[in-house]
């Protein structure tokens, strides 16, 4: 049986792969539940410092499987198997698998091997750093189907794109070349498809070699201060930063620098 989500772990880096290539990695109930369970496992695993998420095949993710997921949620289709029943028992799983109402507490890098559309783009919005293949398309087609992109798009897209560009992407439902996303800083790198995973894993390696107590606190501060006023943000930053300086890693880092060696992190908060 083919696993719809695969997980590989090595040297503090986890690689999560969406694996329904023949369906463009569309999120059916089975994939949603397995992706959610994978996120929860990685969130709790202190050995994992950085997560990379990618897709197998021509697409990164085409969003919710309209025939399987949307019909189940709106009642047009009765539950047929355990995956369906799990989704109906806990509807928050779909949002959490898209990283909408779930924060993993550690950096997530999207390696966009192919198109990221609708819910697939919503998953990207929940990641921290993005590497994309040349020539791929992205967009939020929900209004074309009479649907609302409620995986967080109306909140995150206007923060991650300028206002008028965000409005265009959200209201037209058009697909755009990834170059537009790169131009506005929504993706960090656009490289040839065969290099996407290498670039993402190289970024993950660089981050994983840093003190994870510091990395996790810096990321937390960015996310928590993002919508605060400057004054409130500074207060929040102080609150998050202070414990980092009291952590043994904050002594080990400068000591290793002075002794011209790689630091040996404790990295337990």
Active site residue 142: yes
Q: Which of 3, 142, 224, 230 is catalytic?
A: 142
In tens, the pLDDT along 205-258 reads 999 999 999 999 999 999 999 999 999 999 999 999 999 999 999 999 999 999
Instruction: Specify the pLDDT at position 2.
Output: 87
In tens, the pLDDT along 22-47 reads 999 999 999 999 999 999 999 999 99
Residues 6+ apart with CB under 8 A from 2: 19
Q: Which of 122, 209, 237, 239 is catalytic?
A: 122
Span 128-142, average pLDDT: 98
Nearest to 175 by CA among 132, 133, 143: 143
Strand partners, 177: 137
Instruction: Specify the pLDDT at position 269.
Output: 46
For the cut 70, the answer to whether the pLDDT of residue 188 exceeds it is: yes
Span 119-145, average pLDDT: 98
Rounded to two decimals, the pTM is 0.96
Nearest to 115 by CA among 92, 133, 129, 88: 133
Active site residue 168: no
* Chain position carrying tokens 């398309």: 137
Average pLDDT of the chain, as a whole number: 96
For the cut 50, the answer to whether the pLDDT of residue 17 exceeds it is: yes
Instruction: Specify the pLDDT at position 82.
Output: 97
């Amino acid at each position: 049986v083919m696993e719809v989500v695969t997980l590989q772990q090595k040297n503090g880096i986890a690689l999560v792969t969406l694996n329904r290539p023949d369906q463009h990695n569309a999120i059916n109930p089975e994939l949603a539940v397995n992706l959610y369970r994978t996120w929860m496992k990685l969130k709790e695993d202190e050995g994992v410092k950085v997560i990379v998420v990618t897709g197998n095949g021509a697409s990164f993710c085409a969003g919710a499987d309209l025939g399987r997921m949307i019909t189940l949620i709106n009642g047009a289709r009765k539950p047929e198997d355990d995956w369906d029943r799990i989704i109906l028992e806990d509807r928050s799983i779909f949002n959490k698998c898209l990283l909408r109402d779930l924060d993993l507490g550690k950096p997530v890098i999207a390696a966009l091997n192919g198109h990221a559309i609708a819910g697939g783009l919503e998953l990207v919005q929940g990641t921290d750093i993005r590497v994309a293949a040349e020539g791929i398309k992205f967009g939020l087609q929900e209004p074309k189907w009479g649907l609302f992109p409620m995986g967080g798009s109306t909140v995150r897209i206007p923060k991650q794109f300028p206002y008028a560009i965000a409005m265009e992407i959200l209201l037209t439902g058009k697909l755009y070349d990834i170059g537009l996303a790169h131009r506005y800083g929504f993706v960090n790198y656009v490289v040839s498809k065969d290099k996407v995973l290498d670039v993402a894993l190289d970024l993950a390696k660089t981050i994983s070699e840093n003190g994870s107590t510091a990395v996790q606190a810096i990321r937390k501060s960015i996310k928590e201060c993002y919508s605060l006023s400057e004054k409130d943000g500074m207060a929040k930053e102080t609150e998050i930063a202070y414990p980092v300086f009291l952590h043994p890693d904050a002594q080990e880092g400068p000591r290793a620098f002075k002794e011209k060696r790689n630091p040996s992190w404790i990295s337990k908060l």
